[in-house]
Structure 1
Amino acid sequence: MSVRLRTSAQNKPAKQRGRRVLSVVAALAVLGGGLAVSGSPAYSAPDRAGHPDAVNEGARNLVHEDGFPAVLAAVEGRHGRVRDHTAGTGDLETGAAVPVNGQVRAGSNTKSFTSAVVLQLAGEGKVDLDEPIETYLPGLVRGEGIDGTRITVRNLLQHTSGLPDYTQSLDPNPFEIRDTYYNPREMLDLALSEKAVFEPGAKWQYSNTNYLLAGLLVEKVTGRPFGEEITNRIIRPLGLKDTYWPKAGERGVRGAHPKGYASATPGGPLEDITRLDPSQAWAAGQLVTTPRDLNRFFSALLGGEVLDAAELKEMTTTVPAAEGSATPNTEYGLGLFRTPLSCGVELWGHGGAIHGYETFGGVTDDGRAATVAVTALSASVAAEPEGILEAHQHVQELVETAICE
């Protein structure tokens, strides 16, 4: 297996532009779970003449104004009523309709599942959150300024480890790596070839490497493949019939789904990238799911169906997660963002971005839930960093509209 890296042989201006946008995409990985929208959810809100459904209107805006090919949403009210929404087209070539509650790649929503598995193991006495990762993976976490004896399991789950993000070393052109199988240990080597970003526990910074190690931890402790553990511990018990862990080498999406799109350069022509080897995300983002299943998972998680009270308390104990951004009140627990909304409630959930699909959503303490998925990354529908952030924010604003309107 050869790992495709960014190379100096690429056209230099394009490479520099790609790196600039990569930094924005890295920021989106952070914001993807915790962008609080100040003020009222004006984007997609009904005017005083009265649009009958603000969510439908907002979904259409994401298609017609932001350029996302398709939008899927599932919204659950306090009393359990679920509404599905779609907009756009599920196939740009054929014009096929967007399947209601279609399957999408979950991206970093997977981290909440991964954290839940680790926390179950903690509840069983097999993992200590404040034990160094060295205890479980001896000799593995080493590098310039990187010492596995000083990075705890909690640091990994809460993104306070200071570990560099391995995804920054991958080729920024998704079509160059779409069929590449990545072994988790080789991806870890990419991260450990870079120096530490900061001392463990000193601050918060999102890094996919943390959850790569969490997956390896699960395999070491259980002696079983990570996908099997996440299936047997989370997916099957909760009855998430449209959620699955792709098998090694599996590149398609099994059930009814809208096609996912990407561009070779930011804001360039959209091309079908539905078929993709998701191993590049593994325990940090490999799951396939639906908006309804994500609502069900987060509702069950916060409702105490997945973890015992002690472990759920650990998961929802947060640290500030918005340094340097416009989201001063956003916080991160162990695989969960806490995002205050304009209507006075808090959204507990995550977000996810993987080539072809971007999602955001969560649940509130009073039983509301919403998930919105779009079929391209913000970096594919916009060319400049400002436009990318704006498109991404509009996805999150639609979730706020769904919760608050």
Structure 2
Amino acid sequence: MAAAAAFFPVRFAFATPPAGRYEAVLAQFPDFNGTVAVGRRWEILFSRALGLADPVAAMPMALNTRFETGSVSKWIASMVVLELVDQGKLSLDAPILRYLPDFRADNGLRLTLRHLLSHSSGVPNDIAAARKADPKAGTVELAQMDAVRRYASGDLRFAPGTDWDYSHSNWLLVKAIVERVSGQTYADCVSSWLVQPLGLRDSGIYTGDSSAVPGMAVGYAGPPWQRKPSVIPDFMAMAGGFYSSAEDMVRLMEGVLGGDRILTSASREELLKVQRPLQHYALGGRTRVEIIAGQPRRAAWEDGSNGGFRMVARRVLADGVSVVVFNNTSTPHQKLGDLASGLMEAAYA
């Protein structure tokens, strides 16, 4: 990536490309199993459902099939935090001990929400280590502060803000703060501030095994097909508990990034401002400058995985062009990224 090159937003006059251009891209990925959607602002330019939502039960894929979004859930969580910032209830740069007075005081005085949301906190990834040592350890439900004490209260690995470490434990703290300050469950916050205002029909928060959600695809590895679940307890909902459909994700990105419908302009910029340049990491997700249709373009650049689920989401910020790809058969992210790039190029053709 030639990220060092000067970046100037390029205005582009769009004509809707014929569907055949997108179909030609999909034809280069004959084994793709999942859904795709391409949008410009609120308009869905192209969408397709291919393959099977459940390969063992031979359940066909549909455009409204729901998928786990994996770590894109962290981006959604950051939107919720910034809604509370807009409400004047949270500050990104205040010590979190202000919001969690029963948290470990020495860490709570040093850590901020900005550190947690950008994985620059130094909080050790104790929940991942526990799940690795005993896969059942991180699936047992705990009250949020009990989970914080068990999995997010260790000695900091580095001084906050000085390094980067992708730690799921950050999000246990963020969820505790959001629920305490808002007086609502995190699932209700997502529903009230994102799903309902944007008219999303196939999105929300799940806990446990996602197969209990109506209309959900089933995650597999194979063939031969072997189910590949990854249980998400409620205390980890911010780290990986958001589900959606391809068209819903296009609408969500437009609703949050395309104007003041959800967040103020100041909070949108905070969401997208890169905090850790080497990782392109902003708050809960990534912002990159990539060569798209021959021009350097600033884009939200989201990847997520959980169990057999994989997804990529791309949005060119100046033009409002979005591409979403969902998969439930453990296809490598590189391949899905190539598909997303091809669809994005077709949108600009």
TM tier, smaller: 0.7 to 0.9
One-letter code aligned to 2:325: V
Q: Which amino acid aligns with 1:257?
A: M
The match for 2:314 among 355, 362, 379 is: 362
* Aligned partner of 1:261 among 220, 223, 228: 220
**Partner in structure 2 of residue 114 of structure 1:** 77
Q: Distance in 2 between matches of 1:282 and 1:188?
A: 13
Q: What are the equivalent positions in structure 2 for 1:210-221 lying under 5 Å apart?
A: 210-221=170-181
**Which residue does 2:240 correspond to in 1?**
285
Is 1:123 aligned to residue 86 of structure 2? yes
Q: 1:102 to 1:78 in 2, by over 3 A?
A: same
When residues 237 and 349 of structure 1 are mapped into structure 2, their CA distance, relative to the original with a 3 A threshold, is farther
Distance 1:359 1:129 in 2: 28
Write out aligned runs for 1:35-50 (5 A).
none
Tell me which residue corresponds to 2:262: 306
Identity of aligned residues (%): 26
Q: CA deviation at 1:258?
A: 2.7
Two-structure CA RMSD over aligned residues (Å): 3.1
Mapped pair 1:104 → 2:45: no
Q: Post-superposition shift, 1:138?
A: 1.6
Whichever residue aligns with residue 341 of structure 1, its letter is E
Cα separation, 1, equivalents of 2:147 and 2:273: 29
1:202-225: CA deviation from partner (whole Å, max 9, x where unpaired): 023322222221111111111221
Instruction: Give the 5 Å matches for 1:79-98.
Output: 80-98=43-61
The TM-score normalised by the length of structure 1 is: 0.71
Paired with 1:180 and 1:75, the residues of 2 have a C-alpha distance of: 38
Contact 1:140 1:148 in 2 (8 A): yes
Q: Distance in 1 between matches of 2:267 and 2:59?
A: 44
Give the aligned residue type for 2:85. A
Hey, what's the Cα distance between the residues in 1 that align with 2:41 and 2:160? 40
Structure 1: gaps spanning 5 or more residues: 1-33, 37-49, 64-69, 323-329, 379-390
Structure number with the higher strand fraction is 2
Measure how far apart 1:157 and its partner are: 1.5
| 1:37-69 C-alpha deviation (Å, 9 max, x unpaired) | xxxxxxxxxxxxx987343124425x4xxxxxx
Q: Aligned with 2:310: secondary structure?
A: strand
CA contact (8 A) 1:56 1:87 kept: no
1:252/1:276 contact within 8 Å kept: no
Q: Indicate the SS of the match to 1:164.
A: coil
Supply the AA of the counterpart residue of 1:205: D
Alignment partners' CA distance in 1, 2:303 and 2:22: 27
1:185-204 mapped onto 2 (5 Å cutoff) = 185-192=145-152, 194-204=154-164
Q: Where in structure 2 are the equivalents of 1:367-382 lying within 5 Å?
A: 367-377=320-330
* 1:231 partner amino acid: S
CA distance in 2, matches of 1:54, 1:342: 21
Shift in Å, 1:268? 9.6
Structure 2 SS opposite 1:171: helix
Runs of 4+ deviating beyond 6 Å: none
**1:348 is the counterpart of 2:261:** no
Question: The residue matched to 1:314 in structure 2 has which SS?
Answer: helix
Q: Spell out, residue by residue over 1:157-178, the C-alpha distance to the aligned partner (whole angstroms, 9 max, x if none).
A: 1221111223422434998579
| Matching of residue 397 in structure 1 with residue 328 in structure 2 | no
CA distance in 1, matches of 2:26, 2:148: 42
Following superposition, the deviation at residue 277 of structure 1 comes to 4.7
Q: How many pairs were matched up?
A: 324
In structure 2, give the amino acid aligned to 1:353: S
CA contact (8 A) 1:298 1:349 kept: no
* Greater Cα shift, 286-295 or 73-82: 73-82
Q: Corresponding residue for 1:295? A: 250
Q: Which residue of 2 aligns with 1:60?
A: 30
Distance 1:177 1:296, change over 3 A: farther
Q: Does 1:336 align with 2:288?
A: no
CA distance, structure 2, for counterparts of residue 348 and residue 374 of structure 1: 19
What is the aligned partner in structure 1 of residue 35 from structure 2? 72
Q: Distance in 2 between matches of 1:82 and 1:301?
A: 19
SS in 2 for 1:149: helix
Q: Which deviations, in whole Å up to 9, do the C-alpha atoms of 1:272-327 show, x marking residues without a partner? A: 246945536311221121111111111211112210112222222212353xxxxx
Checking the alignment, whether the CA contact within 8 Å between 1:348 and 1:364 is kept in structure 2 is yes
Summarize the Cα distance change of 1:160–1:93 in structure 2 as closer, same or farther, 3 Å threshold: same
